[in-house]
Amino acid sequence: MSCRIDLKPLVVLVAVLSLVVLQPQPGAAQQATPTPPIRPTHTPRPTPSPTPARISAEITVDAASEGVLFSPRMLGNNLPAWLKRQVFEHPVFRARVAASGIRMLRIPGGSWSDEYGWLSCETGRDQPGAFPCRFPWAARPTDFINFLKATGIEAMYTVNVNYTAQEAAALVAFLNSAITDTTRIGPDIRGTDWYTAGRWAQLRAAGGNPEPLGIRLWEIGNEVYGGKPVVKGCPRNGWENTWTCSGEEYIKGNAEHDGFIKMRAAMLNVDPTIQVGAVGHESSLGRGWAYNVLTHGGQVMDYYVVHTYPQYYNYGNPRREIEHILAIPQRLWPKIKSEAEMAFADAAGGRPIPIVVNEFGIVPEWGKEDFRNYMNKHVAALFIADSIGQMIVNRYAMAAHWNVMNGPSPELSGRMVNEFGLMFDYERDPKMTRQPKYYVYPLWARFGERTLPMTSSADPARELSVYAGRVGANVVSLLVINKSDRPADAQITLKGVRRITGGLVDALTAESADATTAAFNGVAEPKDDLSDASPLPLKGSATDRLSYTFAPYAITLLRLNVQ
């Protein structure tokens, strides 16, 4: 049904109203001022956003210096038992770990180390007098041996602090002794006889490994200061399965438990070539855990172990958050080293104890939702690369990032997204995707093992963090971390050389620090052995000076051939 409306009355009404409005009002001028014509509106051209100013830097390297040697053990990582045998034997996993440049792997797995019964897990059933196998599905000691032999990587072993001295010694024998070794281990504090070193070497041989693995690096316990609250004196939020949270007891033991001193002595009795580290703390000052450990064990320990996990915060501004993370290494590592040395002077008679950081990485603020998930982004690679450099120049003895592969950590974020590892875990991601931080290790592995003195005009906390080294007699290396969104034009001078004849460039690049993917030498997903991501050639110069532009948020390694 339609309805028609007659518009004539409306037209008449509008005409009348128009006449009323247009009549001049009393007192108004009889001739109105003419209205100026309306000019067309000019639309201005859009103003382009200003391009961020490029960084300009002068980098000078003393290439004539002998330099300072550092240990390849600075390129360490962690390999936990919960990855299972199937991952340890997976050809992709083995190939990627072998190609990574990692030089040392700490086993058998963080806090699990204090819950891992080596003998019971090796045999597949709990053994009388031995620590039980609480995770029978996890990797066995033999699985670790097979993996380490296949990849050629050195190991550091964290001994369960709950073992007796003799069970710890038997573990050393299992990994390091010959099958003919008659060294007596004997009965422990609880009455269990651990026989001879050769007995445990024969068990290793029965698993397919007649030759000793020869692990030289050991430590007793993992974060013992964080014992669970069921133990008197431990914190309410404790996480570690340990019998004490007292630094003095940890070193000296008590009537029911062997401490560090007795365990170390029994282990050295089996293999006198090993080194045994003690659990320290990232905050070494004060009269707490570190003070007591150093007071009672500072003259005995072979090295002092530190773990640190600096937190990132949700400021509501991603740029500020990323700048905060990238500034951490420049202050964190000198601070930990300085405080440890002051504690050595105060509690250990000034003995210069080697410092080992065998767990580190960035984590979200504890107890808060992890909105940004930076630990799985390119910013984590920038942080790790700079951290390794800072630990090297501050003369740490060894370092190990946590970890190669971990699995989701919902306790950090409330979501199954966090991955500590360099690769995503197999069960969640069968491709075992490499994260940007994986590629930090191939870069540092090509740097060489000697640092050279250098200066840089760039701000290392916000612009360029620079490390100089020597690969060989005629190759100078320069690892540069660009922490900004700006290209950096650098003038590089190598004092003490006649000319730079050429070189190679390796680089890890990403679209931003917030990116979840990166490219290694221009390849987004290289082959497992990195063979299709070769370094690019670098043109030389006729002098000792070279100009180079470092890409934003890139980690770049220059290997310069010199005369």
Q: What is the CATH number of the domain that holds 486?
A: 2.60.40.1180
Mean pLDDT, the chain, as a whole number? 91
Query: Looking at the structure, do residues 464 and 414 belong to the same domain, yes or no?
Result: no
23 touches 30 (CB < 8 A): no
For the cut 50, the answer to whether the pLDDT of residue 171 exceeds it is: yes
CATH of the domain at 403: 3.20.20.80
**CA–CA separation, 99 vs 108, rounded Å?**
21
Closest CA to 363 of 405, 423, 442, 417: 417
Of 402, 417, 448, which residue is a domain's last? 448
pLDDT in tens, 121-132: 999 999 999 999
Domain count, the chain: 2
Q: What is the pLDDT of residue 321?
A: 96
Q: Domain of 171? A: 71-448
pLDDT in tens, 178-224: 999 999 999 999 999 999 999 999 999 999 999 999 999 999 999 99
Of 423, 448, 473, which residue is a domain's last? 448
Query: Looking at the structure, do residues 427 and 285 belong to the same domain, yes or no?
Result: yes
Beta strand 536-539 pairing with 500-509: antiparallel
Please, which pLDDT band fits residue 554 given cuts at 50, 70 and 90? Answer: very high
Q: What is the pLDDT of residue 371?
A: 82
**CA–CA separation, 138 vs 144, rounded Å?**
11
SS3 303: strand
Query: Looking at the structure, do residues 409 and 481 belong to the same domain, yes or no?
Result: no
Q: What is the pLDDT of residue 270?
A: 98
Q: Look up residue 24 and give its amino acid.
A: P
pTM score of the predicted model: 0.90
Query: Looking at the structure, do residues 340 and 464 belong to the same domain, yes or no?
Result: no
Of 399, 423, 448, which residue is a domain's last? 448
**CA–CA separation, 557 vs 479, rounded Å?**
4
Q: What is the share, in percent, of the chain residues with pLDDT greater than 90?
A: 86
List, in order, residues 6 or more apart from 281 with CB less than 8 Å away: 225, 288, 289, 290, 293, 306
For the cut 60, the answer to whether the pLDDT of residue 11 exceeds it is: no
Backbone phi and psi for residue 449, each to the nearest 5 degrees, phi listed first: -125, 30
Query: Looking at the structure, do residues 485 and 380 belong to the same domain, yes or no?
Result: no
Q: What is the pLDDT of residue 418?
A: 82
Q: For residue 543, is it within any domain?
A: yes
Q: What is the pLDDT of residue 410?
A: 67
Question: H or E element: which one contains 463?
Answer: none
Average pLDDT over residues 269-287: 96
Positive or negative, the CA dihedral 24, 28, 32, 35 is: negative
424 touches 443 (CB < 8 A): no
Q: For residue 7, is it within any domain?
A: no
Query: Looking at the structure, do residues 481 and 376 belong to the same domain, yes or no?
Result: no
Query: Looking at the structure, do residues 187 and 168 belong to the same domain, yes or no?
Result: yes
Query: Looking at the structure, do residues 213 and 90 belong to the same domain, yes or no?
Result: yes
DSSP 193-215: B--BHHHHHHHHHHTT--S----
Q: What is the pLDDT of residue 31?
A: 39
Query: Looking at the structure, do residues 195 and 75 belong to the same domain, yes or no?
Result: yes
440 touches 527 (CB < 8 A): no
Task: For residue 350, count other CB atoms closer than 10 A to its CB.
Answer: 11
Q: For residue 267, is it within any domain?
A: yes
**CA–CA separation, 538 vs 504, rounded Å?**
5
Q: What is the pLDDT of residue 366?
A: 83
pLDDT in tens, 448-487: 999 999 999 999 999 999 999 999 999 999 999 999 999 9
For the cut 70, the answer to whether the pLDDT of residue 54 exceeds it is: yes
For the cut 80, the answer to whether the pLDDT of residue 2 exceeds it is: no
Please name the residue that has the structure tokens 């939020």: 237
Query: Looking at the structure, do residues 383 and 521 belong to the same domain, yes or no?
Result: no
Please name the residue that has the structure tokens 């103003």: 47
pLDDT in tens, 247-271: 999 999 999 999 999 999 999 999 9
Q: In what order do the strands lie in the sheet with 55-62?
A: 454-456, 55-62, 488-495, 545-550
